[in-house]
A and B are shown apart, each in its own frame.
Chain A
């Protein structure tokens, strides 16, 4: 047996093959990309900007954050929970200023990003009073945009969590680095790896694109009278 082959065999013994399919998930998460995380011997969901995911199956959730933020929320009694990945739209073009900051398009968008995640956990049996919240992201990474988008996202998410009466069990926010994040709703463990600030063009491109989409899409248009 060559050295490489022996090495591969040892690897295989240490990391058994992935089960054929990831655990079942809810229909509205069918589009979320999931992969076999060899090191942790379990499936993990990988979030893109604007997505969120909730699991009851012990999966991990990973994402890469630049100026976006993620709230990691779980019910600590049940070990179920999830994570979102969002940023606030720039508000300038929406002209909602007569209602002040409490009802700006940015705030309404952020609220929904948080509420979808929390509601899904509550629907699966979670209780508000046993939710544990961790916050991550909001780096000052998008050059060329005049306002500090990361700081704005941090300010929003901190205020939201405080207004809802949740305490923050842990946070890793701000600074100038993008972050690679792994969260386990089952244990509540949040692992953050700071990435090189200059070598993440894909990430910046993705966030800029997300921001453009947010800016184009009207916030709130779906009303039906019976």
Chain B
């Protein structure tokens, strides 16, 4: 069965690009528009990996990561942040929250897929 990846971003264009990239590699994709929607979905459903933006309304990506780490079925799930933010402070916040990795936009599709393959 194809692995299920959740992509979380408040930008429809960005969700579209991530989805197209993941589907081209055979992944199944579920989308959420902010951290809160992602968390609501995750409470009821397991995913194999989550790729989330940082700056979003209602719940940001770093809060989402720490909330997900509090769910028993997301303790070991790879959680990648995909963001325009590239400062060391923000990266450190992501790392402390329990993120697996940090990818700065614009992403390179080949490298995104290679990174996912490494952590899955």
How distant is A222 from chain B, measured CB to nearest CB, in Å? 4
Q: How far is the CB of A152 from chain B (nearest CB, A)?
A: 16
CA gap between A116 and B53 in the complex, in Å = 12
Q: Is A33 an interface residue (CB 8 A)?
A: no
Provide the A190-226 mask, 1 if CB < 8 A to any CB of B, else 0. 0000000000000000000000000000111111111
Chain A residue nearest to B78 (CB atoms) is A225
What's the least CB distance linking B48 to chain A, in Å?
17
Query: Which residues of the other chain, B, contact A226 by a CB distance below 8 angstroms?
Result: 94-95, 99-102
Question: What bracket does the count of chain A residues touching chain B fall in?
Answer: 20 to 34
Chain B nearest Cβ from A137, distance in angstroms? 19
Question: Chain A: interface secondary structure?
Answer: helix
Q: How far is the CB of B62 from chain A (nearest CB, A)?
A: 13
Within the assembled complex, what's the spacing in Å between the Cα atoms of A118 and B9? 13
Cβ–Cβ contact B10 & A112, under 8 A: no
List residues of chain B with CB within 8 A of the CB of A123: 55
Contact present for B20 and A99 (CB under 8 Å): yes
Q: In A152-172, which residues have CB < 8 Å from any B CB?
A: 160, 163-165
Q: Which of A57-83 contact B (CB under 8 A)?
A: none
CA A82 – CA B119 in complex, angstroms?
38
Chain A residues contacting B11 (CB-CB under 8 Å) are 111, 115, 118, 164
Judge whether A108 and B106 touch: CB under 8 Å.
Answer: yes
B109 touches A223 (CB 8 A): no
* Min C-beta distance of B29 to chain A, whole Å: 13
Q: Contact string, A87-122, partner B, CB cutoff 8 A, digits 1/0?
A: 000000000101110110101110110111011001
Instruction: Report whether A122 and B100 are in contact in the complex, using a CB–CB cutoff of 8 Å.
Output: no
Q: How many angstroms between the C-alpha atoms of A225 and B17 in the bound complex?
A: 22
Nearest CB in chain A to that of B95: its residue: A226
Assess the B108–A102 pair: CB atoms within 8 A.
Answer: no
Question: Can you name 9 A-B residue pairings with CB atoms under 8 Å?
Answer: A99-B24, A103-B21, A112-B105, A163-B13, A164-B11, A220-B108, A222-B86, A224-B102, A226-B101
State the A residues within 8 Å of B (CB).
96, 98-100, 102-103, 105, 107-109, 111-112, 114-116, 118-119, 122-123, 127-128, 160, 163-165, 218-226
Q: A112-B105, A115-B11, A218-B108 are in contact. List 14 more A-B contacts (CB 8 A).
A: A99-B24, A103-B24, A103-B109, A108-B105, A112-B84, A115-B105, A122-B57, A123-B55, A163-B16, A220-B107, A222-B103, A225-B119, A226-B94, A226-B95
